[in-house]
Amino acid sequence: MVFTSLEFLTLFLPLVLLIYVLARPQWRNGVLLVGSWVFFGWLSPMFMLLHTVLTVITWVGGLLIDRAPLGSKSRVRWLAGMIVLNVLVLCWYKYANILAATLNEVLMSQGAMPLEWQRVALPAGLSFIVLQAISYLVDVHRRTVKVERSFIDYATYLLMFGQSIAGPIIRYSWVSEELSNRGLSWRNFSMGARRFMIGMSMKVLVADSLSPLVDVAFALPEPSFVDAWIGCLAYSLQLFFDFAGYSAMAIGIGLMLGFHFPENFNRPYLARSIQDFWRRWHLSLSSWIRDYLYIPFGGNRGSQWMIYRNLFLTMAIAGLWHGGDSWNFLLWGAAHGVALCVARLWTGVGRFGIPRVMSHVVTLLFVALAWTLFRAPDFASALNMYAGQFGLHAFALGDALAATVRPTHAIAAALGVFCVIAPIYQQRCEARFGQNALFCLLGASWPVLGFLLSFALIASRETVPFLYFQF
């Protein structure tokens, strides 16, 4: 069950919201927790069991860290033990398969028989739940937040079905007050419903429409220059609208429930540098790796070499966090780490500034090329796409992709580009037409129209999972 499935839209979400609204305020966390257990259990009972066990362990770990004297070795040991446990669980589910496959490749290259291996399924939401648990434990250790003594409240924070699958990555300090005291209002509910509908339109109308085009392009044995760049640019739009759409839906559900989650994207494809890109893309992850990886590693303190080391290691670890099925994600993170180091070096040595338009183009070009690593199933496939992008195969549009391209793909891509560029003019339009009745009516009606069209598409075809479900 995913957000863009009929069972979620017509059964699960309406029923949970109804029970939640009718329940007494002191019971609402319990209702939300039970709903989250049902949500994960619907995906897989084993997912629910694992998440629940991890929740119990980290809740108890937080209590033990808080009980230990400040500055004591026992406090540090409890924190280190909890972090190691969470990381080991995540690494097992993310990297057991690829490590087993790599070992079997080595064995077969030496003429030995490969090991029998039963593929391990990655539990939905585990990557995000682990990061939230670690941030909570570290903040309790630092005493920047008070330890949560109510298991129901802590479990509600960690397992909330709205955002625990694919973010935003919520810190306990952001929602601690609302966990114990939040109200329901028609204004928040209507704003949340609007955000949910906008997110659903982003996912279904743009991302899902581009999905077949991307799948075909990345499966071509020898993509041409045109094939490779159509696939790369289509995936860049698909990934953004898929992930940003999910974040908008999660923020909308949070508002309907009385929570105020932070924004997770800020027009990243308008970035003018790689640093600017990471200040706009997946904001909750960017701030997490800054506060819980980069700064603890040393941040901007120390020599320039240490700063470059910290940047590279931080992004490489971020790549590992994304990965699981191939080593491409590590390479993707390392590439961004190198790009951040080069950008910092360029600024530090006082080189001449790049014109604004060129800086924007270079940034988008690098990001798109890095997305090729992110999307390709393995390194050989990535090299194959790069060969096409650099013109080492044919130039013209290939037959396979030509047979796949439909007018809907062009419409979806145009809609996606419009949605990326439109915010530039949004304030001007609001300043000019803000009191205009027609403008207000269009602003209120288009999310509903987009939702209805998205719902009709969902009802007429198979559900397309969110891309970040696999991370």
| Dist CA 100 CA 109 (whole Å) | 14
Residue 292: CB partners within 8 Å, gap ≥ 6?
Answer: 134, 135, 138
Helix 45-67 and helix 73-109: axis angle, to 10°? 140
Q: Which two tokens stand for residue 322?
A: 């994304």
Tell me the C-alpha distance between 145 and 27, whole Å: 23
> 190 — phi, psi (to 5°)?
-70, -40
Q: Is 322 a catalytic residue?
A: yes
Which residues does 257 contact at the CB level (< 8 Å), separation at least 6?
17, 20, 28, 32, 162, 192
Determine whether 354 is exposed, middle or buried from the number of CB atoms within 10 Å of its CB (0-12, 13-18, 19+). middle
Q: Which residue has the tokens 């070992």?
A: 103
Q: What tokens appear for 332 in the block?
A: 């993707």
Residue with tokens 């992930």, as numbered in its chain: 243
Q: Map residue 324 onto helix, strand or coil.
A: coil
Fill in the amino acid letter for 16: V
Peptide bond connecting 168 to the previous residue in cis, omega within 30 degrees of 0: yes
Kindly give the residue spans of alpha helices, DSSP state H, lying in 323-350: 328-348
What is the rounded CA–CA span in Å between residue 357 and residue 335? Answer: 23
- DSSP state letter for 44: -
- Residue the block writes with tokens 């496939």: 381
DSSP 326: -
Q: What gap in Å lies between CA 469 and CA 50, rounded to an integer?
A: 16
Distance CA 87, CA 72 (A): 23
**Among 322, 336, 393, 409, which one carries the catalytic annotation?**
322
Contacts of 466 by beta carbon, 8 Å cutoff, 6+ apart: 2, 3, 4, 165, 166, 203, 242, 243, 246
- From the number of C-beta atoms within 10 Å of its C-beta (0-12, 13-18, 19+), residue 226 rates as middle
| Contact present, 58 and 82 (Cβ < 8 Å) | yes
φ, ψ of residue 298 to 5 degrees: the values are 135, -20
Please give the positions annotated as active site.
322
